[in-house]
Structure 1
Amino acid sequence: MNKLMSALLVAAAVSATAPAFAEVVVVVNAKAAESSMTKDQVAQFFLGKSSAMTPVDQSEDSPLRAEFYKKVTDKDASQAKALWSKLVFTGKATMPKEVGNSAAVRAAVAANPKAIGYMDKASVDASVKVVYTAP
């Protein structure tokens, strides 16, 4: 019985950490003209330095959000939020739309030809197009 409980605890721990190992991809609407982007281009949208596309963020507590900002913008999610807060306060931008998970990002990006978002590669379907894969 103890071995079974230990195995279940290990399985639960592994599955709880699985999102941290997800492959993060940046997606745009399937009909968007962009076919690929550089890390720097993506970072411009998610740090408020370009308004050519509308960023869609995952929720603050999302492990994927933390991983995305670390890998793509070289900042942690709280640093990015501080940059956005400053832009909003000065009237230069509005905060990115925030959604709960990869499926919600996919739906938001599929519904808006100017949207850009990030999600787990496993959640990609034909309604969005991958333009960047985080290393």
Structure 2
Amino acid sequence: MLFSGAALAEKTKSISVIVHADNTTDTLTKKQLIDLYMGRYVAFPDNQSAQPVDTLTPEGLKSQFYKRLVNMPLSRVNAYWSRVKFTGRATPPSTQDSEQVLLNFIANNPNAIGYVFSDSLSLKDKQDVKVIMELYE
């Protein structure tokens, strides 16, 4: 099999799960993160309201996040949310247009939780947000 270097590098990037710097949550279990992103829980472990956020770009980030989190392709995650929304049991994560917009949103919203490629976090970003989990291939 042949892989392009760029495609392989993109596929193996770690994904950082981030919250506002002042959020009292320092870490989550994978199950807790799944429960937040799949609408089963609406709060962090300390009962502080949680607002999960997805991002549209860079391409592949959202699909890699869900593949690593719940081991499902994005099409199945979208089908899941279609069913759950229809029943009215939960609301899917809100969406931001890009990693930078998501970083700004989380830096200004203490209840927000999101994800970015780890190498996208600058020193300035790390002052405004806190990494609570890393997801690897």
Alignment TM-score > 0.5, same fold: yes
Contact 2:15 2:118 in 1 (8 A): yes
- Give the C-alpha shift of residue 129 in structure 1: 0.5
- Other structure's SS at 2:16 match: strand
| TM-score w.r.t. length of structure 1 | 0.80
Contact 2:37 2:92 in 1 (8 A): no
Flag structure 1 segments of 5+ consecutive residues without an equivalent. 1-12
Identity %: 32
Residues 98-129 of structure 1 show CA distances to partners (whole Å, capped at 9, x for unaligned) of 12222122112112111111111122222111
Flag structure 2 segments of 5+ consecutive residues without an equivalent. 44-49
Partner of 1:112: 109
Partner of 2:78: 81
State the one-letter code of the partner of 1:99.
Q
Contact 2:20 2:111 in 1 (8 A): yes
State the distance in 1 between where 2:25 and 2:53 align: 17
State the distance in 2 between where 1:17 and 1:100 align: 24
Tell me how large the CA RMSD over aligned residues is: 2.0
- Other structure's SS at 2:28 match: coil
Q: Which has the higher contact order (CA 8 A, sep 6+)?
A: 2
Cα gap change, 1:114/1:108 in structure 2, threshold over 3 Å: closer, same or farther? Answer: same
Higher alpha-carbon Rg:
1
Superposition pairs of residues 3-18 of structure 1, within 5 angstroms: 14-15=5-6, 18=9
- Other structure's SS at 2:116 match: strand
Partner of 1:41: 32
How many correspondences in the alignment?
A: 123
State the distance in 2 between where 1:89 and 1:50 align: 18
Partner of 2:93: 96
State the distance in 2 between where 1:17 and 1:102 align: 20
Counterpart of 1:70 (choices 50, 63, 67) is 67
